[in-house]
Amino acid sequence: MAGSKSALVLCMDVGFSMSNSAPGEESAFELAKKVIQKFFQRQVFAETKDEVALVLFGTDSTKNPLCQDGQYENITVHRPLVVPDFELLMEVEHQIQPENQQADWLDALVVCMDLLRTHTQGKKYDRCNIVVLTDLNTQASSDNLDVIVENLKQAGTTLQFFLPFSVAADDEGQGGEDGRDPGEAVPGKSLSREQKNSLEMVKHIMLSLDEEEGLEQVYTFRNAIEQLCMFKRIERRPMAWPCQLTIGSSLSIRIVGYKAVTEERLKKMWVTVDAQSSKKDDVKRETVYCLDDDNETEVMKEDIIQGFRYGSDIVPFSKVDQDQMKYKHDGKCFAVLGFTKQSSVPRHHFMGNQVVKIFAARDDEHAGVALSALIRALDELKMAAIVRYAYDRRSNPQVGAAFPCIKPSYECLMYVQLPFMEDLRHFLFPSLENNRKISPSETQLSAVDSLIDSMMLVERDENQEERDLLKPHHLPNPAFQRHFQCLHHRAVNPDSPLPPMEPWLEAALDRPGVIKERCQAQLEEMKKLFPLTDVEKKKKLKTSAQIFDKDSEEPDAKKAKNEEEEEEYNLADISEGSVTSVGSVDPGRDFRALIRLKTLPFGEVCQQLTHRIEQLLGNKNTHYYMKSITCIQAFREQSVKLGNADFFNSYLRSLKRSIPSRGLEVIWDLLVQDAVTLISKDEVDGSTISKNEANQFLMAEEKKEEAAAAPAEDTGDVDDLLDMM
């Protein structure tokens, strides 16, 4: 349970026999070290309060409180009981290495028992456990074996062993040819005399502690690595949500809710640190607010308020306005609005990120009887309650459905959020029926049915009981697993590249092997019946310049006809309401409409458009930049069409001069990308710009002296242009 606290001592053999291995095989030391690393990883990332100690035996040195008169030598308490952290992970990675001595594993067990006794005295722990990782290939004295077992029983300490071979390796003719389970012990070797004797002592200890399931606490290294490869999930304490279930104004039932299903999120633990020292204290962040002017005048924090962007305008909202704007209600609520059939609440309308189980208050018998009657009535009638749910006074209310849930051990209501009108997306798609082009044949339908049957994730076992081949609720979140894997690697290996995804995780995300083998023939049949062919694109993509220039190779008569058709179509688009000025919603469309309607002089319409462009450029946002590019393209297009290049060329020149001082390099890059340049003589007879000058205009100018162009002059150019219009 979340909130429980355990004390665990890991006792690892690092003696010289642990490092022996056949060529191409991992030694028992390497496997045992992996088990410890995996365990510590799980404890660190699970954020538990469990305390862990690490004891090594077979070390060259001796460091333990029982070392007296030549006893308990070559045993080292590497770490006392502490909550594991990244420092411990780094110690295991870099400091624990195979050594050249041997030690009695029973002596190491006694040191662990003493460590648990001294460090847990006067403290409360739910569980005390000792884990021994060894190959048992050392001389062990059994003189005090029964005393050790009795002390373990009195202290309530549980014991586990992790070995390179299975506990049955000495049974049935030494476990086969070499006294081991396949792939567990060192290939080509049977158990030594020391291992056989030690294994008998292990069995004696474990069966003395638990006659029925004692040997189930003896694991092999490889099995342990497989079970520990998955990072342990973060345990959450169940948080009760007390409330009143109300039906009308006269019936109220005391309830308590618990989150049964909710999306787990990683904690946002990213912080900015110094790249050299990796310390947070070396970096300080300061936020300064400045006006968007030439001097970047600083604005104090108390002199700013929030603003809500409404189109291209900003509506200011003070803190008081924001508080008054919030929806006010009476606080936490679970009010039944009415009842409906369960079939009328489709599953695709379930939304939200949680499912809440609603129980009666534990100490209220009347509430239990009332809620039980409601749940059973809903279940018998196949009905659901539609409720108004609010978590607290600060949260917005929801509408949801409460379904009855009756289990052998409990009964409750299951609350699921339902959508409001704005949450629904209504899409209309053409019917697939009565369409001969896409109607499948009987053979194709049969092939799809066969494929579905072959990929069924539920099958019957030998006892004709259904068995799930894939259980999503047992599948860990791959993003979490990969995140923790990379964090651990970077913590212990700061300079090496991140490792690839672990094979077990890739396999877990793939189809089960049984399904993959079973559906091969059906997939091949599907390829034959539903062949895929390459379809060539009929239309090539055009640049915006080509679209606006109308492709010069097109005959003039056809070009004029297309322009007339386009005008008629666009006039029909705006026939619902007359356009009187260039607005902020779609300035380019309004500009074209005013030019066609000829209700205002061309210069005045251009002035309105450039005013809108300047407003858009004042918003440092990609969306507004793209909108301003559309306006500039419309400006050029209509100028060419009307044969008047002066207004456009003047504005484009002034815009180019103001780009460095206003920080609008992104706008200029977009203009260059779309080849939006000055209007030349070849396009409009009255233009003073040659084609070569127009092409050179888009090329980046060499940097001149900084003082050559003052910001004040840039503003004046724009103002002069507007005055001229």
CB atoms within 10 A of CB 725: 20
* Shared-domain flag, residues 682 and 717: yes
* Shared-domain flag, residues 297 and 349: yes
Q: Say if 625 falls within a structural domain.
A: yes
Beta strands in 72-223 (DSSP E): 75-82, 127-133, 157-163, 218-220
Residue 515 maps to which CATH number? 1.10.1600.10
Lowest mean pLDDT among 97-106, 236-245, 302-311: 302-311
* Shared-domain flag, residues 376 and 467: no
Q: What is the mean pLDDT of residues 36-62?
A: 85
Q: Say if 233 falls within a structural domain.
A: no
Provide φ and ψ at 198, rounded to 5°: -65, -35
Token duo for residue 261? 């299903």
Q: Say if 624 falls within a structural domain.
A: yes
* Shared-domain flag, residues 153 and 268: no
Q: Say if 138 falls within a structural domain.
A: yes
Give pLDDT tens digits for 341-370: 999 999 999 999 899 999 999 889 999 999
pLDDT interval class at 538 (50, 70, 90)? low
* Shared-domain flag, residues 188 and 156: yes
Report the alpha-carbon distance of residue 41 to residue 481 in Å, rounded.
11
CB atoms within 10 A of CB 588: 22
Query: In the listed set 392, 424, 456, which residue is the last one of a domain according to the structure?
Result: 424
8 A C-beta contact, residue 243 and residue 360: no
8 A C-beta contact, residue 317 and residue 311: no
8 A C-beta contact, residue 84 and residue 43: yes
**Average pLDDT, whole number, for the chain?**
80
* Shared-domain flag, residues 337 and 448: no
Report the alpha-carbon distance of residue 236 to residue 240 in Å, rounded.
12
Tokens 């030998």, located at residue = 462
Q: Say if 429 falls within a structural domain.
A: no
* Shared-domain flag, residues 192 and 77: yes
Residue 180 reports pLDDT greater than 90: no
Using DSSP's 3-state secondary structure scheme, residue 665 falls into helix
Q: What is the mean pLDDT of residues 689-712?
A: 61
* Helix and strand totals (H; E) in the chain: 23, 19
Query: What is the DSSP secondary-structure string of 251-301?
Result: EEEEEEEEEEEE------------TTT--GGG------EE-SSTT--EE-G
* Shared-domain flag, residues 570 and 674: yes
The pTM for the full model equals 0.56
Structural domain boundaries, residue 577: 544-724
Q: Say if 430 falls within a structural domain.
A: no
Token duo for residue 581? 């000025």
What's the pLDDT at 169? 52
Give pLDDT tens digits for 52-97: 999 999 999 999 988 888 888 999 999 888 888 878 888 888 888 9
Nearest CA-CA partner of 129 in 18, 217, 198? 217
Query: In the listed set 396, 424, 452, which residue is the last one of a domain according to the structure?
Result: 424
8 A C-beta contact, residue 254 and residue 242: yes
* Shared-domain flag, residues 581 and 506: no
The pLDDT > 90 percentage for the chain reads 22
Structural domains in the chain (count)? 4
Residue 368 maps to which CATH number? 2.40.290.10
pLDDT interval class at 323 (50, 70, 90)? confident
* Shared-domain flag, residues 283 and 375: yes
Query: In the listed set 228, 247, 279, which residue is the last one of a domain according to the structure?
Result: 228
Residue 578 reports pLDDT greater than 80: no
- Top mean pLDDT of 236-240, 328-332, 439-443, 618-622 is at 439-443
Residue 204 maps to which CATH number? 3.40.50.410
Residue 143 reports pLDDT greater than 70: yes
* Shared-domain flag, residues 180 and 311: no
pLDDT interval class at 701 (50, 70, 90)? very low
* Comparison of pLDDT for 404 and 612, the residue scoring more: 404
Q: Say if 39 falls within a structural domain.
A: yes
Q: Say if 44 falls within a structural domain.
A: yes
Residue 633 maps to which CATH number? 1.25.40.240
pLDDT interval class at 185 (50, 70, 90)? very low
* Shared-domain flag, residues 553 and 482: no
